[in-house]
Structure 1
Amino acid sequence: MKALTWRSKGKITCETVPDPTIEDGRDAIIKVTACAICGSDLHLLGGFMPTMQSGDVLGHETMGEVVEVGAENSRLKPGDRVVVPFTIACGACRQCRWGNWSCCERSNPNGAKQAETFGYPLSGLFGFSHITGGYAGGQAEYLRVPYADVGPIKVPAGIDDEKVLFLSDIFPTGYQAAEYCEITPEAEKTIAIWGCGPVGLMAIKSCFLLGAKRVIAIDTVPERLALAQQAGAEVIDYAVDSVQDRLIDMTDGRGPDAVIEAVGMEAHGHESMLDTLASAVMSKTTSMERPFALNQAIIACRPGGIVSMPGVYAGPVNAVMVGVLMNKGLTLRTGQTHVQRYLSPLLERIERGEIDPSFIISHRSTNLEDGPALYEKFRDKADGCTKVVFKPHG
């Protein structure tokens, strides 16, 4: 089969690789009908994630048709149409029973290695390095789905793939980030969001679904700012305005009640003196991520507010304003998304017509051979590229 593979930092190729096979009785094999490039896939392209190996199949936003199931999987059958969560969970460990699906204790076969860094094993992830399990991803013609009797959600006939594909990751991720802000219609909260990429845009929509009074979105890419406005947000271009000054002005000095940092490890923006100094020191010692957006969000949030952080980080982060976080009495909430928790309720919202997540798609292809060029286009934000979807079988 054809698949997009990681070769080295900055190099992704379309290759012919072996078809997946059933390896466990709970497995399923799906024929991929739609898959997408995620912003966190760009971290792999940029070489920011450790333990990637040449030839690894990429992709964790995937859906398709079941073509084979293991002997112990009575939940699925060939012909079922499913969306696959990017988090792989066993459904039986204590974390799964608590609903903390991204903290599954059993689904990462390399969990012992991961625990050396994180203290404990976490859930396996599709197409996202060997420290998260080394699972082949779904930017391919076929995908093996472990624990397929737990994770995938069946999709009713009559709903287009593009409307439900993002249940695999970015819609639940944006929704969880918004939910962490403790939004209710009665609270009339103002939420500020850093980053109008796919997760940030889903967070905007989710804030309004939950009853936010106002959403203010921060970015500088014109196409992303336009989509944020279309989603109902007021916008700030951080390359033009002082974000803090504009937020103070827009909220009559009160500040946002909660902030969402949807950028992560590759944030770019105006460096503070503290960021500059720390970066200079750290460059002589070790490689660390630069939390420009996170620090802006911490400063901008009103005292006693909430900082929600769906933005992905891989390792140490230099010069996070922990003192500001502590002295302002802020609550920080973060983590990989517990996708399985949100699948059914968000599918119901799509079915009721409350949201159509396909609004973010800018580029489509029926040929995985286009993948390397589209990765670069998405990375460079060229040609108005906000989201790429592949339909490998046409």
Structure 2
Amino acid sequence: MRALCWHGKGDIRCDTVPDPKIEHPRDAIIKVTACAICGSDLHLYDGYMPTMKSGDVLGHETMGEVVEVGSDNRAGLKKGDRIVVPFTISCGECFFCRKQMFSLCERSNPNAGMAAQAMGHSPAGLFGYSHMLGGYAGGQAEYLRVPYVDVDHIKVPDGLTDEQVLFLSDIFPTGYMAADNCDLRGGETVAIWGCGPVGQFAIRSAFLLGAERVIAIDQVPERLALAREGGAETIDFSKEKVYDRLQEMTKGRGPDACIDAVGTEADPASSFDAAVDKAKAAAYLSTDRPHVLREAIMCCRNGGTVSLVGVYIGLLDKVPMGSAMNRGLTFRMAQTPVPKYMGQLLERVQKGQIDPSFVITHKVGLEDGPQMYETFRDKKDGCIKVMIRP
């Protein structure tokens, strides 16, 4: 089959690789009908994620048609069923899965020891996201093996397009969790750093959950325009000081909640500290660039919540924990436990409360994937979200 494969920093190729096979009775094989490039894939493209190997198949936002199931077919899946697959892999039976903390599954990462050495504890396995997180082949391919498929899927009802449901695999639940973390009761002001795909879903999810105002922060004109279409007020950080503007907009109090939808690759041009972070990362004195996290902490009102869904990979430097502690901030963060959210979000799509296809700007085939990684990373051609049809 054809698949997008990692061969080093900035080197993605469309290769021919072996077809996946059933390896466990709870497996299924799907023919991929749609997949996508995620912002967190760019951390692989830019060389920030350790334990990648040349030839690894990428991709963790995937859906398709069932072509084969293992002998322990607990979900009763049939050939031809359309399913969306979460980006995390979870067994459904361990201590954490029983608590709906699916992204912390104790069984799905066969390389848990490697991850524990780096992180102190192992998260669940992830599709197409390094050997530290399981070494699973990803879904930017013609076919995908889905372990624990009885847990790790949602069946697509008739009448919904791939475009409407594909993002149930990751970015819609992630943006929704970002807002859900803020414990919104109605009437709040939420500030969101990053108007990429996850940030766009966080904007709309915050409104769905009762926020009165959403203030979105970015510098890319197309992203800011899409945020405004979703009802957000916007701040262009290249033209205004974010802290000063948020203080002005909230009468000196600060937002009730701040969402970091950027993570480890904050734009080094956004501030002096972000530029220093990049230089230190190059010298291996730290690994991540937490400018957005620092700013979210300083901007959040006393007693407010900071919600982190932007990916962080390693070590952070100069995070103002004294400010956070003394002002009573709450931090909430996680890799998204996607199965917890898939059903309720599918219901919102069916009811017409949201159409997730709004975020798609580019549709391509697998052969165009390597070029689209660069286009997406560099925000060329108005690119916000790339959907791939193998």
**Is the TM value for this pair above 0.5?**
yes
Report the 3-state secondary structure (helix = DSSP H, G, I; strand = E; otherwise coil) of the residue aligned with 2:7: strand
The aligned runs of 1:154-303 (5 Å cut-off) are: 154-185=155-186, 188-268=187-267, 269-272=269-272, 286-303=285-302
* Displacement of 1:283: 5.9
CA distance in 2, matches of 1:303, 1:167: 34
Structure 1 unpaired stretches of 5+: none
* Displacement of 1:271: 2.9
* Displacement of 1:148: 0.5
* Displacement of 1:277: 6.6
Deviations 1:137-185 (A, max 9, x none): 0000000000001110001011000000000000000000100001122
Match of residue 114 from structure 2 = 113
Distance 1:227 1:276, change over 3 A: closer
Match of residue 371 from structure 2 = 373
CA distance in 2, matches of 1:156, 1:282: 46
Match of residue 72 from structure 1 = 72
RMSD: 1.4
Distance 1:24 1:214, change over 3 A: same
Match of residue 17 from structure 1 = 17
Structure 2 unpaired stretches of 5+: none
Deviations 1:203-245 (A, max 9, x none): 0000000010000000000000000000110000000001111
- Mean Cα displacement is larger for which, 230-239 or 106-115? 106-115
Contact 1:279 1:318 in 2 (8 A): no
Distance 1:358 1:324, change over 3 A: same
Report the 3-state secondary structure (helix = DSSP H, G, I; strand = E; otherwise coil) of the residue aligned with 1:132: coil
Contact 1:87 1:125 in 2 (8 A): yes
CA distance in 1, matches of 2:96, 2:351: 31
Match of residue 363 from structure 1 = 362
Superposition TM-score, scaled by structure 1 size: 0.96
The aligned runs of 1:44-63 (5 Å cut-off) are: 44-63=44-63
Query: Which residue identity is paired with 1:85?
Result: P
Report the 3-state secondary structure (helix = DSSP H, G, I; strand = E; otherwise coil) of the residue aligned with 2:176: helix
* Displacement of 1:286: 2.5
Query: Which residue identity is paired with 1:295?
Result: R
CA distance in 2, matches of 1:278, 1:60: 28
CA distance in 1, matches of 2:323, 2:200: 27
* Displacement of 1:280: 6.4
Report the 3-state secondary structure (helix = DSSP H, G, I; strand = E; otherwise coil) of the residue aligned with 2:316: coil
Contact 1:278 1:319 in 2 (8 A): no
Query: Which residue identity is paired with 1:161?
Result: D
Deviations 1:179-200 (A, max 9, x none): 0001122xx1000000000000
CA distance in 1, matches of 2:276, 2:35: 41
CA distance in 2, matches of 1:263, 1:281: 19
Superposition TM-score, scaled by structure 2 size: 0.97
* Displacement of 1:118: 2.1
* Displacement of 1:377: 0.3
* Displacement of 1:339: 0.3
Distance 1:276 1:143, change over 3 A: closer
Distance 1:197 1:19, change over 3 A: same
Check if 1:333 corresponds to 2:315.
no
* Displacement of 1:74: 3.1
Match of residue 128 from structure 2 = 127
Report the 3-state secondary structure (helix = DSSP H, G, I; strand = E; otherwise coil) of the residue aligned with 1:353: coil
Contact 1:282 1:318 in 2 (8 A): no
Match of residue 5 from structure 1 = 5
CA distance in 1, matches of 2:48, 2:277: 19
Query: Which residue identity is paired with 1:167?
Result: L
* Displacement of 1:120: 2.3
CA distance in 2, matches of 1:170, 1:204: 12
* Displacement of 1:117: 2.0
CA distance in 2, matches of 1:222, 1:119: 40
* Displacement of 1:119: 2.3
Query: Which residue identity is paired with 2:249?
Result: M
Query: Which residue identity is paired with 1:344?
Result: G
Distance 1:11 1:351, change over 3 A: same
Report the 3-state secondary structure (helix = DSSP H, G, I; strand = E; otherwise coil) of the residue aligned with 1:8: coil
Report the 3-state secondary structure (helix = DSSP H, G, I; strand = E; otherwise coil) of the residue aligned with 2:3: strand
Report the 3-state secondary structure (helix = DSSP H, G, I; strand = E; otherwise coil) of the residue aligned with 2:294: helix
Percent of residue pairs bearing the same amino acid type: 62
Contact 2:280 2:286 in 1 (8 A): no
Query: Which residue identity is paired with 1:292?
Result: H
Contact 2:277 2:288 in 1 (8 A): no
CA distance in 1, matches of 2:282, 2:38: 28
CA distance in 1, matches of 2:328, 2:70: 50
Contact 1:114 1:122 in 2 (8 A): yes
Report how many aligned residue pairs link the two structures: 388
Report the 3-state secondary structure (helix = DSSP H, G, I; strand = E; otherwise coil) of the residue aligned with 1:131: coil
Contact 2:216 2:234 in 1 (8 A): yes
CA distance in 2, matches of 1:15, 1:276: 36
Match of residue 96 from structure 1 = 97
